[in-house]
Structure 1
Amino acid sequence: MNSHRKPRSTSSPITQRAVRIGLFAAGIAGVATAVPAQAQAATAATQSHVAVASDHVFSHADRAHHTQTKDSFTIRQFGDVNATAVRNQANAVSAGCSADAHCRSVALSFQIVTVTGDETRLNAVNLSDAANKKCTGCQTLAGAYQFVVSTPTRLTLDDNARGRLADIHRRLDELTRSTIPAAELKSKVDGLAAEVTGVLHDAVAQAPKGDTQPDVTLHRHLDGWPGH
């Protein structure tokens, strides 16, 4: 069997492979970079003019390792910035397994980004890709969830919000390591994403008010075999 990739859906702005908002000029001096990708939280200094962050999860299952599952849950609080470029990506591959000894590959990435400012330029990219390579009966799932919180005044997630997010992260770890069918896994992960959105909306509601309305946006992309 040749390599297979599930066709991408372009019917909704939320599910597009790349979501880009506003404009970002590459190569601007004074870039503040939040790395590594697996860090639990990263905060850019308030005096930074540009903030850049990239989170990437990759899983690869094959005959030597029939099951590989990975997830990431990052919080990036950038504060006052003039421009922000953030990228969130999940890739999963299953290769060379048979129906009698099939593979399971799962990659899930949750990225939370908070930015402050009335005229912040934002470039947000959210990608996922799942591929079966000569892999009969394999389950392969890649999911990228990017949460962008924009507020006119600085927002810092308090202990309550962080505690609720930590609990969601724990349950995401459990789901990622589970053996439930891919269709059920997708549904449950979507449920966790909805909980994250709720936590962020609560945090925004308690934040100081400004001239513009705060906003919480979810960029979601899922790709998987068997298909949705």
Structure 2
Amino acid sequence: MSSHRKARSSTGRPFSGRALRTVLLAAGAAGVATAVPAQAATGSGHAAFASDHVFSHADRAHHTQARDSFTIRQFGTVNAASARNQANAVSAGCSADDHCRSVALSFQIVTFAGQRTHLNAVNLSDAANKSCTGCQTLAGAYQFVVSTPTPFTFDAAHKRRLNDIHRRLDTLSRSTLPAAELKTRVDALAGEVTKVLDDAVAHAPKGHVKPDVTLHRHLDGWPGH
């Protein structure tokens, strides 16, 4: 059995203008969908944790598998926060005449408040073809980190815009678009999310620390063009 992987890509906009210590990790065990309890997320002096993981597996029995996730984790004011986002896609045992398609996409939005918050943010993706000639496999992890001096919540208008993007992500993940075009379309949706978040923090309560939105993006796919 052979296994093929393409190098993943990562982009991000750096944190700026705030007293925030950020630690980015690129390894560790797979996470599951969990979140910090609400009572811990809203009070100061607490730590918060969230983990989201999307996995898809296509093979001769299930030629097409598509999974996606769009989660919003609002931590409130915390001293420390840990957020993990992961997407894994596998295509196995198919052929060029009987090919497979596996897509896993995870969008995670994390908001937190505080002037000296320790953030541990992990964002991973991996796509693998295992003895799968002519198969299309795509894994994309998009992690949006929103930092504000004081807690805020999304208003109805911003929620509607995010819900609309979520619906379109569902449609894209289940489409039959070639992997290269699918990447472009998903990147465009991520750009829309960033614009919504930028607009939301512009209307958030002001403080001594400038609000900021950072995108961590990891894409891994086969074929890799």
Alpha carbons 1:42, 1:76 under 8 Å: kept: no
What residue in structure 2 maps to residue 72 of structure 1?
69
Give the C-alpha shift of residue 80 in structure 1: 0.5
Which residue in 2 is equivalent to 1:134? Answer: 131
Work out the CA distance in 2 between the residues paired with 1:84 and 1:38. Answer: 13
Given that residues 2 and 134 in structure 1 are in contact (C-alpha distance below 8 angstroms), is that contact kept between their aligned partners in structure 2?
yes
**Percent identity for Structure 1 against Structure 2:** 75
Deviation at 1:47, TM superposition (A): 1.9
| 1:53 paired to 2:50 | yes
After TM superposition, give the deviation of residue 23 of structure 1 in Å: 5.1
- Between the two proteins, the alignment pairs up a number of residues equal to 210
Structure 1 contact 14–221 (Cα < 8 Å) conserved: no
- The alignment yields a C-alpha RMSD, in angstroms, of 2.2
Q: How far does residue 42 in structure 1 lie from its aligned partner after superposition?
A: 7.7
* 66 and 130 in structure 1: CA distance in 2 versus 1, 3 angstrom threshold: same
Query: Are 1:4 and 2:4 an aligned pair?
Result: yes
Which whole-Å CA distance do the structure 2 matches of 1:81 and 1:38 have between them? 17
SS at match of 1:112: strand
CA contact (8 A) 2:11 2:217 kept: no
Q: State the distance in 1 between where 2:99 and 2:34 align.
A: 28
Query: Hey, which bits of structure 1, 4+ residues long, moved more than 3 A?
Result: 12-15, 41-45
Contact 1:50–1:84 (CA under 8 A) maintained in structure 2: yes
**Would you say the 8 A contact 1:42–1:77 is kept in 2?**
no
Q: Assess if the C-alpha contact under 8 Å between 1:140 and 1:224 holds in 2.
A: yes
In 1, distance between residues paired with 2:198 and 2:37? 20
Listed as ranges, the gaps of 5+ residues in structure 2 are: 14-20, 25-30
Structure 1 CA distance for aligned equivalents of residues 23 and 93 of structure 2: 42
Deviation at 1:153, TM superposition (A): 1.1
Write out aligned runs for 1:49-198 (5 A). Answer: 49-198=46-195
Give the C-alpha shift of residue 2 in structure 1.
Answer: 1.3
Higher relative contact order (CA 8 A, sep 6+): 2
User: Secondary structure of 1:58's match?
Assistant: strand
SS in 2 for 1:171: helix
Measure the CA separation in 2 of the matches of 1:23 and 1:5.
Answer: 26
TM-score by length of 2: 0.88
DSSP 3-state at the match of 1:198:
helix
TM-score by length of 1: 0.87
Contact kept, 8 Å, 2:41 with 2:74, in 1: the verdict is no
Report the residue type matching 2:2 in the other structure: N
Q: Which runs of 5+ in 1 are unaligned?
A: 16-20, 25-34
User: CA 1:36/1:94 → structure 2, altered by over 3 Å: closer, same or farther?
Assistant: closer
Q: What secondary structure sits across from 1:45 in the alignment?
A: helix
What per-residue deviation string (whole Å, max 9, x for no partner) do you get for residues 149-182 of structure 1? 0000111111111110000000000000000100
